[in-house]
Homo-oligomer: A and B are copies of this chain.
């Protein structure tokens, strides 16, 4: 019997586990789902699927699990993938992840080729489905004789309009810590009309691009840290505009920018004694050199009046309240996440939405043509989310390809290779994930 091992099973694992569960019955495989916390996944336990409670920081435990597997999927925190990758290489097992390909993983390419091991990273939604759907279009345009001069690719995990009942138009349908720290990895870089652009963190949320996407209405986009390295990966070295970005609903970005300007997203130091501190006192610590009431100090700092939606949204979060924070020691970012987790809670009755949008402009016979490719997917409920579906299914389909011997690709890869993206995109259509292409 052949075995699949899933390391880590957080919120986004539901579709993946269901897919693997069904396929394992059909194919007489066995699936092991290992996590430190298993309460929420025990329901999946069946004759072909075993839930294993395990501390995956424990080398021995990881070794024991990986050595009996044929394909390993890691949904662990990104920093832990390298541990899984090294063990997979030691035992000659394939590995799939939905995270960005860290340098230390990329460096395993030669060894992986030698050992006939396939490692595919960036195989979720973003990164993942964005690459696959972009490359498919790029290949098509190139084959048709077009020269792509502009490429824009935006993606966002949001709350669906029907469940959107807060003035930030945002809920945590995804890892809250990643949302709070978004953009802090480093200066965003992209190419616009042949010129390099650099956007430091403290400018990131104040220079957004407004964009209308079909029936879904208005979004705003802030640039991702790394666009430039994908130009080569996409075969678009000569494109004049190349930008990847993240989508939010207005006025999210200008309001979030206010929190950034204040310093509330700072994760670099811990406030040592918060035991008696209220939210308004926490906020006041970031209001320097101003006098008057907190309202006056905040509006002066932000250069707005108290009727402005930025002020209203900060107030709505409870940052002006004299309620105790309820933490003892935390970074400003952790205090912020603590209050946001209550205010932006993705409730049982809520549905999420993912939006993936590409815009290509290509030249052919002296004429410029614009094509857009859009995927809007909405969640079924707060377990079977659009995020879980779009992150999980690419991983699931690639797992099946490897298990059935239909993917033989030793080395470290991201899904910009036809052998990966063609079968994955084809099968995603069967699950209703159809990208809508419009030529203007």
Contact = CB atoms under 8 A, between A and B. Distances in A.
Interface string A158-194: 0000000000000000000000000000110100100
Contacts of A286: 197-199
Interface string A263-280: 100101101000000000
Contacts of A209: 289
A288 B196 contact: no
Contact of A199 (B192, B284, B288): B288
Chain A interface: which size bin?
A: 20 to 34
A285 B195 contact: yes
Contacts of A288: 192, 197, 199, 203, 207
Contact of A203 (B186, B187, B261): B261
Question: Which one of A200, A207, A266 has the highest number of Cβ atoms from chain B below 10 Å of its Cβ?
Answer: A200
How many copies of this chain? 2
A332 interface: yes
Interface string A205-221: 00101000000000000
Contact of A198 (B196, B281, B285, B289): B285
A243 to B, nearest CB: 10
B284 A195 contact: yes
Given A187-B266, A268-B187, A202 B285 contact: no
B268 A186 contact: yes
Given A203-B261, A207-B288, A288-B203, A266 B195 contact: no
A26 B203 CA distance: 60
B199 A261 contact: no
Contacts of A200: 202, 263, 266
Interface in A257-308: 261, 263, 266, 268-269, 271, 281, 284-286, 288-289
A434 B205 CA distance: 50
Nearest to A209: B289
Contacts of A266: 187, 198, 200
A189 B332 CA distance: 13
A198 B332 contact: yes
A191 to B, nearest CB: 10
A263 to B, nearest CB: 4
A209 B202 CA distance: 22
A9 B186 CA distance: 35
A251 to B, nearest CB: 16
A187 B264 CA distance: 11
Given A189-B269, A268-B186, A288-B207, A261 B196 contact: no
Interface in A226-280: 261, 263, 266, 268-269, 271
Interface of A: 186-187, 189, 192, 195-200, 202-203, 207, 209, 261, 263, 266, 268-269, 271, 281, 284-286, 288-289, 332
Given A198-B285, A203-B288, 20 more contacts: A186-B269, A187-B268, A189-B269, A192-B288, A195-B281, A195-B284, A195-B285, A196-B271, A196-B285, A197-B288, A198-B263, A198-B266, A198-B269, A198-B332, A199-B263, A200-B202, A200-B266, A203-B263, A207-B289, A209-B289
